[in-house]
């Protein structure tokens, strides 16, 4: 998949992060937002608490699933996890690009064409000191570009990046990358723990294909209104 193939309707570009401790809150939100949002992100917390059943439940409620498990293990184990996610009918799945070429190629070989494998470069919680602690002397930008390049060579179809990294990644690796950005905050929303964020419109203008938004929607007393404000800002 290329950036030019990404659906251009705002409702198809917004991904809501279901960062909840249990199934019932997550499914209530999916049902509440179902008309306005097509894709929901299930991360480690919810998946660990609710298991694969939560993927089936989100799909049964009409949502597509972005399973954010950030896989990183030996190639065979990751390939089997990719197969299991494909069998669950997941649309997008993340893995750590630092898992290396063989792990990435094994994952790609196991993914059916309708499963988008997305690579995580350097976590936004890392700084230069954290990288050094794990033995990497490069700058964060150089490490992110190196890992992104490795992922693309191995056949990974998209990258997770901060909105601030989008233009560097596109200029160094090509305009047709599919890039998904968290770290999005509408005007007036609390930053929470996001330090380097952009508004939804700025993130699209910076070149993001999909936006992941969690707390500005999940913590709003009127999540549907929060979604509508974001979609209006995005032009639809
Ligand atoms: O609530 P908020 O909008 O900050 O949620 C963003 C989502 O994106 C969370 O699920 C978070 O784990 C995820 N994420 C992130 N930064 C990354 C990768 C993932 O915030 N670099």
Q: Is the CB of 75 under 6 A from ligand 1?
A: no
What average pLDDT does the segment 57-83 reach?
98
Atom of ligand 1 nearest to the CA of 17: 10
Q: Is the CB of 165 under 6 A from ligand 1?
A: no
- Most ligand 1 atoms within 8 A of CB, residue of 48, 184, 197, 212 to mutate: 212
Residue 225 pLDDT exceeds 90: yes
Distance 191 CA to ligand 1 centre (A): 12
Q: Are 15 and 39 in contact (CB under 8 A)?
A: yes
CATH number, domain with residue 141: 3.20.20.70
Atom of ligand 1 nearest to the CA of 193: 4
Q: Is the CB of 29 under 6 A from ligand 1?
A: no
Query: How confident is the model over 78-111, as pLDDT tens digits?
Result: 999 999 999 999 999 999 999 999 999 999 999 9
Number of compact structural domains in the chain? 1
Residue 231 pLDDT exceeds 80: yes
Query: How confident is the model over 101-151, as pLDDT tens digits?
Result: 999 999 999 999 999 999 999 988 888 899 999 999 999 889 999 999 999
Q: Is the CB of 200 under 6 A from ligand 1?
A: no
Query: How confident is the model over 8-29, as pLDDT tens digits?
Result: 788 999 999 999 999 999 999 9
In degrees and rounded to multiples of 5, residue 55 shows phi and psi of -65, -45
- Angstrom distance (rounded) from CA 24 to CA 21: 9
**Cα R_g (the chain), whole angstroms:** 17
What average pLDDT does the segment 191-214 reach?
91
Q: Are 111 and 82 in contact (CB under 8 A)?
A: yes
- Angstrom distance (rounded) from CA 66 to CA 15: 8
Query: How confident is the model over 166-175, as pLDDT tens digits?
Result: 988 999 998 8
Nearest of 177, 135, 133 to residue 153 by alpha carbon: 177
Q: Is the CB of 192 under 6 A from ligand 1?
A: yes
Distance 203 CA to ligand 1 centre (A): 14
Range of the domain at 140: 3-233
Q: What is the pTM of this model?
A: 0.95
**β-strands 64-71, 39-43: how paired?**
parallel
Ligand 1, atom 14, residue with closest C-alpha: 182
Q: Are 201 and 233 in contact (CB under 8 A)?
A: yes
């Amino acid at each position: 998949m290329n950036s030019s193939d990404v659906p251009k309707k705002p409702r198809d570009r917004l991904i809501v992060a279901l960062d909840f401790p249990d199934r019932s809150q997550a499914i209530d939100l999916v049902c509440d937002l179902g008309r306005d949002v097509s894709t929901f992100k299930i991360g480690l917390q919810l998946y660990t608490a609710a298991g694969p059943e939560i993927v089936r439940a989100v799909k049964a409620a009409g949502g597509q699933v972005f399973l954010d498990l950030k896989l990183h293990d030996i190639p065979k184990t990751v390939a089997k996890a990719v197969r299991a996610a494909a069998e669950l009918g997941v649309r997008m799945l993340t893995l750590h690009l630092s898992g290396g070429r063989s792990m990435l190629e094994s994952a790609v070989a196991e993914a059916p064409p309708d499963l988008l494998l997305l690579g995580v470069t350097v976590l936004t919680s890392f700084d230069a000191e954290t990288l050094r602690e794990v033995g990497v002397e490069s700058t964060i930008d150089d490490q992110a570009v190196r890992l992104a390049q490795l992922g693309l060579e191995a056949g990974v179809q998209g990258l997770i990046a901060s909105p601030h990294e989008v233009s560097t990644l596109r200029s160094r690796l090509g305009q047709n990358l599919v890039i998904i950005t968290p770290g999005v905050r509408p005007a007036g929303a609390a930053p929470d723990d996001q330090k380097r964020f952009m508004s939804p419109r700025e993130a699209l203008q910076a070149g993001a294909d999909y936006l992941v938004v969690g707390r500005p929607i999940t913590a709003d007393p009127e999540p549907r209104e929060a979604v509508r404000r974001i979609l209006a800002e995005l032009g639809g």
